[in-house]
Structure 1
Amino acid sequence: MNRGGKTLLVLALVAVVGMAFRVSWNALRDVARAVGADSTAATLYPFVVDGLMALALVATLVLTDRADKRFALRVLAAYTVASLVLNYVHGLVPELHGRSVDWGRLADWDPANWMLVLLATSLPVGSIYFGSDLVAKVLHHRPTPPADAEKSDQIDVNRSMPDLVESTPEPPVPLVELPVIEPVAVDLQHPIGEPAESTPVGAVAAESVRPVRATGRVPDAARNARPTRTAEELLNEARSVTADWPDTDLTAERIRKAVRTSAEKARTLRDTLRAERAADREAVDSAA
């Protein structure tokens, strides 16, 4: 909708509200006279009730805080119901129109009359209290800029989220000792560009490769606990450890744990020890 259409809509709404106020003003003025107000007070009485309704409506549109907005809506609803009740009583009691009703008499039943008189006389006092509170809330209201509103929403979301569990630091990667590449021997008897006699035609001479040295100190955890053992030393150690073992316990797993070697070497030691024991038993049987 363009600006002209919005302007016409607002003007039409103001006209309708003004005419509705004029209709309600007549009923509230007669009720005010019936409860003892003079002509001036009775003329101003409708502004006290319906005027506070308009003020509460404006405060509802201006305030952004949820509690303040709820308070303004409650005031608007309460005074709307009160104005409706007084207009309804004005329609039920014809004597109010001709000013022939007894002073302070709005209903024939005494309890209902007391409640109506209490309602009509308490509305001005309530207007002072609730109107002052609404005006104070509107004057102290500070609208939140859009950027700050988005930032506050993000902060609320971050606060509502549970604290993240600290991730366990990854274990350090152990340093592995790099193998030393042996340099390739180069035949220096032949001049450069002239192939050796053993080199076939079309073959490319191998380039010499410099040995790669491990930089830095290797930590103690990455070093081998035992020196490298030969196959004979490993076999002798296995014979010594398993000398009093029965044949049922002569397994690769137990041998691997006893001599602290690899599974492949443990299987080789197991087969060798079993073969030696079988040979020893055959020799004893043949001697007997």
Structure 2
Amino acid sequence: MTLDRKGKALLVLALVTVVAMAFRVSWNALRDVARAIGADDTAATLYPVVVDGLMALALVATLVLVGPDRTFALRVLGTYTLASLVLNYVHGLVPGLHGDSVDWGRLADWDPANYALVLLATSLPVGAIYFGSDLVAKILDHRPAPAPEPMPEPAEPASVPVAGRSMPVPVEPATDVPVLGPWTPVAELTGGTGGTGTGTGPDLYIPAEQDGTGLGAEPTPEPPEPSVVPPVPDPGSGTTGSGSEVRDDTVFGRQVGEVRNWLREEPELTGTAIGTRLGTSDAYGRRVRRAALHTAGAAV
């Protein structure tokens, strides 16, 4: 239970009241003991204030100090409380202390007890000076401990890549590439190297997907080709005519692969333009174009 400010004030007031009443009860006993050890009237009147006053000071120091200083204040409080209890007990056992019938310096009939009681009663004022000064110095030098700072929350550990484990690499979406639409295959010409005079006519009809109107263009009929196919020139060697059929097929297949790549980038490329790039006739260019389109359709 936590007391509020008003509750703490009432608690302190109750403590002061109890201490004051206890001080008044102990007053007569300590005053008579002081007279028995030779104190005059003024000293005997102040003697209870010295003893019980130091007890009150030690109580305050116990509430303020911490650690070893608090332990020291508790020891002082316990020692003076026990001494006051003994003197009050002697005052109750010796009726002569209540008046002037007791000899000066005589607190007990047994000499050792008398010597001890006189030593105790005379040492309390001197001890009050020493212990009281020490307790006041400790209270003035006391500094409250600073409030502990809140501990920061531990940060989450950063993820560390594990050695030997490859991190996923983001894959960019493939860009749109031109795709050849459906087409009608035309039988390859069996011979002839002659071509059109101008080479401007289309070789095949344009697929409907690639025509802007969506209707498609009608194929233009091919001019008749001669029945004799001349030898295919080899672009790499510069020789013509005398190579074997295997060599011709190899060159033709390589040229078909190149034209297929050209058509992927330029679908509108005509046979005339292909023949120009290959350094051959228009008819040969159309033949290679048809073969490239045919192989592209078969691959799809």
TM-score range, shorter chain: 0.5 to 0.7
The equivalent of 1:63 in structure 2 is 65
With over 3 angstroms needed to count, the CA separation of the structure-2 counterparts of 1:199 and 1:69, relative to structure 1, is same
Question: How far 1:192 moved relative to its partner?
Answer: 1.5
| Amino acid in structure 1 at the alignment position of 2:54 | L
Describe the superposition over 1:164-206 as per-residue Cα deviations: whole angstroms up to 9, x where unpaired: xxxxxxxx98xxxxxxxxxxx9932221176753445573xxx
The equivalent of 1:146 in structure 2 is 147
Q: Could you tell me how far apart the structure 2 residues matched to 1:129 and 1:11 are?
A: 28
Are 1:129 and 2:130 counterparts? yes
Q: Could you tell me how far apart the structure 1 residues matched to 2:19 and 2:299 are?
A: 107
Q: Among residues 20, 45, 56, which one is paired with 1:43 in the alignment? A: 45
Question: How far 1:57 moved relative to its partner?
Answer: 1.0
Over the matched positions of the two proteins, sequence identity in percent amounts to: 71
Q: Matched residue of 1:188: which SS? A: helix
The equivalent of 2:121 in structure 1 is 120
Describe the superposition over 1:211-261 as per-residue Cα deviations: whole angstroms up to 9, x where unpaired: xxxxxxxxxxxxxxxxxxxxxxxxxxxxxxxxxxxxxxxxxxxxxxxxxxx
How is 1:190-201 mapped onto 2 (pairs within 5 angstroms)?
A: 190=260, 191-192=263-264, 196-199=293-296
Q: Among residues 48, 52, 55, which one is paired with 2:54 in the alignment? A: 52
CA RMSD, Structure 1 to Structure 2 (Å): 3.2
Are 1:189 and 2:259 counterparts? yes
Question: How far 1:16 moved relative to its partner?
Answer: 1.6
Question: How far 1:68 moved relative to its partner?
Answer: 1.1
For the pair shown, the structure with the greater C-alpha radius of gyration is: 2
TM-score (normalised: structure 1): 0.54
Give structure 1 stretches of 5+ with no counterpart: 155-171, 174-184, 204-288
**Larger CA deviation: 78-87 vs 7-16:** 7-16
How is 1:61-140 mapped onto 2 (pairs within 5 angstroms)?
A: 61-64=63-66, 66-140=67-141
TM-score (normalised: structure 2): 0.52
Give structure 2 stretches of 5+ with no counterpart: 152-162, 165-253, 268-291
Q: Matched residue of 1:189: which SS? A: helix
Q: Among residues 14, 31, 52, which one is paired with 2:16 in the alignment? A: 14
Question: How far 1:44 moved relative to its partner?
Answer: 0.4
| Amino acid in structure 2 at the alignment position of 1:57 | L
| Amino acid in structure 2 at the alignment position of 1:189 | V
Describe the superposition over 1:116-168 as per-residue Cα deviations: whole angstroms up to 9, x where unpaired: 10000001111111111111111222223214xx59xx9xxxxxxxxxxxxxx
Describe the superposition over 1:6-30 as per-residue Cα deviations: whole angstroms up to 9, x where unpaired: 4333323222211110011111101
1 or 2, which has the higher helix percentage? Answer: 1
Contact 1:107 1:113 in 2 (8 A): yes
Count of residues in Structure 1 that have an aligned counterpart in Structure 2: 174
With over 3 angstroms needed to count, the CA separation of the structure-2 counterparts of 1:120 and 1:73, relative to structure 1, is same
